[in-house]
Amino acid sequence: MSSSSTTCFRGCCSSDRIPLAIVPKSSLTLLSPIASGAESTVYQARFHGECLVAKKPRLQTSDDIDRYHTELQLLSKIDHPNIIKLVAAHAQPPDYFFLFPMYEQGNLSQALHIKEWSPPWEVIAKICLQLANALGYLHKLGILHRDVKPANIFLDSEMNAYLGDFGLAMLEKDLQGTNLQSWKSTGKPTGGFYKKNMVGTLLYMAPEVLRKQVQTEKSDVYGFAVTINELATGVLPYTDRRTEAQAHTVLEMNYTEQQLTVAITSGLRPVLADAQWGIPSSLSSLIERCWNDDPKLRPSFHDILEELHRICTDLNMGRIRDVKKVTHDSNTVSANLGVQLQNDDSHWPRKAGPNTKDSVLSWGPSWCKRSVDKTACTPTISSGFFAARGGRDTMEDSCFLLPQVGGATNISLFGVLDGHRGPEAAEYATHAIPNHLIARADMGCSPLEALSAAFTDTDSAFRHELDLQRQRSKGQVKNWHPGCTAAVVLLVNNLLLVANAGDCRTILCRDGQATALSKDHTASCCTERDRVTSLGGQVTWQVDTWRVGTAALQVTRSIGDDDLKPAVTAEPEVTELILTENDEFLIIASDGLWDKISNEEAVSFVKDTVKEPTMSSKRLATEAVERGSTDNITVIIVFLKHVSTLERVF
C-alpha cells in the first residue's frame, strides 16, 4: 500500500492495521453500484488492483458524520473470522468510504429468496455457529450490532457467513448513557423502523425495541433467532401466516408496520423451523428461547454456543437423524379460513400413460434446438401453487408442476385439472398428460402437436381404463362417467403454448395487463353450443344456464365424460406465443377462482403481493374463498422473470 494514515481526519478513530485515509485518491476506482439503500450506496471497486467493495454512506447532517465515525471506530477495532473485514477507510470531507472484501455470494437474504438456496442441515448448523461466534465476540467487546438480519449477513464462495453492516452498531455503555427521553422523541436509535419502507428491519426487531425500551445484547439474540429461523425454513418472516389478521396485511403491504408491531409485542412470531423442515427439536427449542418476549429469559451467546455445539455433536454421533428436508405445506396455516390443502391419497393409479422412464433424456434436446432463438429473452421460471377444497366436501381438482420436465432445464409443464362427477379423471390426467406428452415428443412430434395429442391420448386411455374397471365390477358400477377439464402450459425456451379444454383459465401478465390465453369452453358460449349440437350433443337451458346432455354438464370440452363423447371433446384449443421482456407471470387456475375474481383483479393482486409464487397463489385462492367461492380452487403461478420476495416488502 503506497501510503496510509493510522488516524482519521478528526483524530477520533485510529488503527495500527487499517489505513484510514486513501492516498492517493487515484488508487481507488469506483465501478458499478451493487446496492443502494436509504443509508448508503455500495459499489464494486478497485483498490491497488484488488477487487473490493466500497460502501459510501449518505451523510447529510453532522449527526450522520458522527455516526460514520462511530461505525469506523467500531469496525477498526473488530477482528473476527466471521465478521466483515474493514480493508481501508477514507474519512476526509467530502469523501467518506469504507472498503471491504467482496463476498461473492452476496447477502443471505438474496441467497434464500432470490436464488432460492435451500442449504442442507449441516450448512445451516455451520452458519448458525459462525453467526453465534461473531455475535458472542461483539458482545464480549461490549458492542451491540442492533441490525441482525439476513440482508446484513454476507456469504463467500464457500457459503461461510460474515456479519456486516455496522451502521446501527453501538457500544452498550454509550447506549445506556443515551437519554431515554431524547431518543424516544427522535425515534433514534431504533434506526430503520422510523424510515419509510423499512419494514425489513421491523421483522427482526425485538419486542423491547418496538416498545422503545432500552436495548441490550439480548435484542441481538432475538434478531439472531428470527434470522436462523428464516435460514432454516427459507420463509420470509410472517409472510406465510394466514391465520392472523396481521399477517394478512403483511401480504397487502399497505399499513403493516403498526399492526405487525402490535402483533409482535403481543407474542406473534414467525412459523417455527421444526421437524417439518428437517430441523432437530433441540434447535427449534433453542430458537424459541432466543425469541422469548422477555429478554432476560433469552440465552446469552455464551449459552447459545454451548447448546449449538451440543446439537452438532449429537448430529455427528448420529443421535439426531438427519431428517429429510420437506417443502413446507400450508395445511396448518390455512385451517382457519376453511381453506384445505388438496390431500394426496389418490384413489386412482399414480402410474398412468405410457412408460417414459427411459426416454426422458433423449427428447428434450431436440425441442430445445428447434425453438431456441438466441436474440429472444428466455424466461427465468419460478412457480408455486395453492389448492383449496373451499366449501366442498371433496377435492376434485388436481394439478402438476414440472419446472424441468424429465430434467430438461429449458422445458416446463404446468397443469390444472378440475374434476367433475368424481376425482378420478383429474387424478389420472395429472400423470397421464405429462407422460403422453413426453411419449409424443419421443415420436418426433412438435411441441404443439405433442401438447394437443397429450389431451386426446389421455382421454382415450382414461376411457379405456374406465371400461376395464366397469367390466371388472361386472355391471355393478353404473352411471359412472367421471371427467375433468384441463389447462396445461408448456414452455420450451421462450415458446409458450397454452392448451385448454373446459373452463379452467390461463392468463398472462404482459405489459402489466391481464391477457387471457384461453377461452372458457362452456355451453353459454354459442360457438361451443353449435359445435356440440353439430356432433349430436344436446344442449338445453336447465335451471340457470345452458347445459349439455342428461348429465347437465356446463363445460363443452373435457377428458373423460365418456357418455358425452364425441360432442364433449377432449381436443384442446391451443394458444401459441413467443415470450417477450414484458411478460411477467402466468396464472393458471380452476373456475373456482375465476367465478369470483376477474383477470384484471387477479393480475393486480399478484402485483401487490410478495413476489413468491406460492404466497401469491395462496393470496388469490384465499381471496376467492373470502368472496364466497364454494367450489374447489386451484391456482398455479409461474413467474417468468427473476423475482425477489423482497422487492415488495422492503
Ligand X SMILES: Nc1ncnc2c1ncn2[C@@H]1O[C@H](COP(=O)(O)OP(=O)(O)OP(=O)(O)O)[C@@H](O)[C@H]1O
Q: Using CB under 6 A as the criterion, which residues of the chain lie in contact with ligand X when the complex forms?
A: 34-35, 37-40, 42, 53, 55, 100-103, 106-107, 151-152, 154, 164-165, 167
Stretch that binds Mn ion, among 81-89, 150-158, 173-181, 371-379 (CB under 5 A): 150-158
Rounded-to-integer distance, Cα 491 and Cα 383, Å: 12
Judged by CB under 5 A, the number of residues near Mn ion is: 4
Between 39 and 583, whose beta carbon lies closer to Mn ion?
Answer: 39
Q: How many CB atoms lie within 10 A of CB 566?
A: 11
Choose among 434, 437, 378: nearest CA to 581: 378
Choose among 230, 281, 274, 205: nearest CA to 128: 230
The least distance separating ligand X from the CB of residue 609, rounded to whole angstroms, comes to 23
Residues 6+ apart with CB under 8 A from 612: 113, 236, 239, 384, 643, 645
The least distance separating ligand X from the CB of residue 544, rounded to whole angstroms, comes to 56
> Could you tell which of Mn ion, ligand X, none binds residue 103, using a CB distance below 5 to 8 A set by kind?
ligand X
What the block records as the C-alpha cell of 518 is 384461453
Q: How many CB atoms lie within 10 A of CB 360?
A: 15
Between 165 and 230, whose beta carbon lies closer to ligand X?
Answer: 165
Contact between 167 and Mn ion by CB under 5 A: the answer reads: yes
Contact between 584 and Mn ion by CB under 5 A: the answer reads: no
The least distance separating Mn ion from the CB of residue 55, rounded to whole angstroms, comes to 9
Between 71 and 561, whose beta carbon lies closer to ligand X?
Answer: 71
Stretch that binds Mn ion, among 31-39, 385-393, 408-416, 608-616 (CB under 5 A): 31-39
Choose among 338, 310, 232, 315: nearest CA to 276: 232
> Could you tell which of Mn ion, ligand X, none binds residue 53, using a CB distance below 5 to 8 A set by kind?
ligand X
> Could you tell which of Mn ion, ligand X, none binds residue 605, using a CB distance below 5 to 8 A set by kind?
none
Between 100 and 594, whose beta carbon lies closer to ligand X?
Answer: 100
> Could you tell which of Mn ion, ligand X, none binds residue 613, using a CB distance below 5 to 8 A set by kind?
none
Q: What is the CA radius of gyration of the chain?
A: 29
Question: Which amino acid, residue 282?
Answer: S
Start-to-end Cα distance in the chain: 39
The least distance separating ligand X from the CB of residue 210, rounded to whole angstroms, comes to 18
Do residues 418 and 502 make contact, with C-beta atoms less than 8 angstroms apart? yes
The least distance separating Mn ion from the CB of residue 625, rounded to whole angstroms, comes to 38
Residue nearest to Mn ion as judged by C-beta position: 167
Rounded-to-integer distance, Cα 591 and Cα 486, Å: 11
Q: How many residues are present in the chain? A: 650
Measure Cα distances from 530 to 83, 536, 538 in Å: 72, 10, 10
What the block records as the C-alpha cell of 104 is 461473492
The least distance separating ligand X from the CB of residue 257, rounded to whole angstroms, comes to 16
Measure Cα distances from 298 to 126, 134, 232 in Å: 21, 18, 20
Binds Mn ion (CB under 5 A): choice among 70, 133, 152, 556: 152
Return the beta strands (E) in 421-556 as ranges: 483-492, 495-501, 505-510, 513-516, 539-542, 545-548
> Could you tell which of ligand X, Mn ion, none binds residue 154, using a CB distance below 5 to 8 A set by kind?
ligand X
Contact between 133 and Mn ion by CB under 5 A: the answer reads: no
Binds Mn ion (CB under 5 A): choice among 165, 240, 459, 583: 165
> Could you tell which of Mn ion, ligand X, none binds residue 102, using a CB distance below 5 to 8 A set by kind?
ligand X
Do residues 96 and 15 make contact, with C-beta atoms less than 8 angstroms apart? no
Stretch that binds Mn ion, among 148-156, 181-189, 200-208, 508-516 (CB under 5 A): 148-156
Between 38 and 141, whose beta carbon lies closer to ligand X?
Answer: 38
Between 145 and 242, whose beta carbon lies closer to ligand X?
Answer: 145
Stretch that binds Mn ion, among 46-54, 160-168, 193-201, 418-426 (CB under 5 A): 160-168
- Give the position of cell 363445460: 555
Between 165 and 623, whose beta carbon lies closer to ligand X?
Answer: 165
Residue 348 DSSP one-character state = S
- Residue 83 phi/psi, 5-degree rounding, is -125, 140
> Could you tell which of Mn ion, ligand X, none binds residue 47, using a CB distance below 5 to 8 A set by kind?
none
The least distance separating ligand X from the CB of residue 511, rounded to whole angstroms, comes to 30
The least distance separating ligand X from the CB of residue 648, rounded to whole angstroms, comes to 16
* Residues of span 562-581 touching Mn ion by CB under 5 A: none
The least distance separating ligand X from the CB of residue 98, rounded to whole angstroms, comes to 8
Rounded-to-integer distance, Cα 302 and Cα 322, Å: 26
> Could you tell which of ligand X, Mn ion, none binds residue 406, using a CB distance below 5 to 8 A set by kind?
none
Contact between 71 and Mn ion by CB under 5 A: the answer reads: no
Rounded-to-integer distance, Cα 545 and Cα 602, Å: 25
> Could you tell which of Mn ion, ligand X, none binds residue 55, using a CB distance below 5 to 8 A set by kind?
ligand X
- Give the position of cell 412408460: 355
The least distance separating Mn ion from the CB of residue 57, rounded to whole angstroms, comes to 9
- Among residues 147, 165, 274, 591, the one annotated as catalytic is 147
Q: How many CB atoms lie within 10 A of CB 119?
A: 17
Stretch that binds Mn ion, among 152-160, 281-289, 362-370, 411-419 (CB under 5 A): 152-160
Between 110 and 617, whose beta carbon lies closer to Mn ion?
Answer: 110
Between 199 and 432, whose beta carbon lies closer to ligand X?
Answer: 199
Between 151 and 264, whose beta carbon lies closer to Mn ion?
Answer: 151
Do residues 87 and 151 make contact, with C-beta atoms less than 8 angstroms apart? no
Choose among 409, 428, 411, 408: nearest CA to 419: 428
The least distance separating ligand X from the CB of residue 112, rounded to whole angstroms, comes to 13
Do residues 163 and 148 make contact, with C-beta atoms less than 8 angstroms apart? yes
> Could you tell which of Mn ion, ligand X, none binds residue 268, using a CB distance below 5 to 8 A set by kind?
none
Q: Where are the alpha helices (DSSP H) in 346-386?
A: 360-371
Between 111 and 433, whose beta carbon lies closer to Mn ion?
Answer: 111
Choose among 564, 465, 560: nearest CA to 523: 564
**Helix, coil or strand: residue 566:** coil
Q: Is residue 608 annotated as part of the catalytic site, yes or no?
A: no
Rounded-to-integer distance, Cα 515 and Cα 527, Å: 21
Rounded-to-integer distance, Cα 117 and Cα 230, Å: 12
Binding residues for Mn ion, rule: CB under 5 A, are 39, 152, 165, 167
* Catalytic residue numbers, as ranges: 147
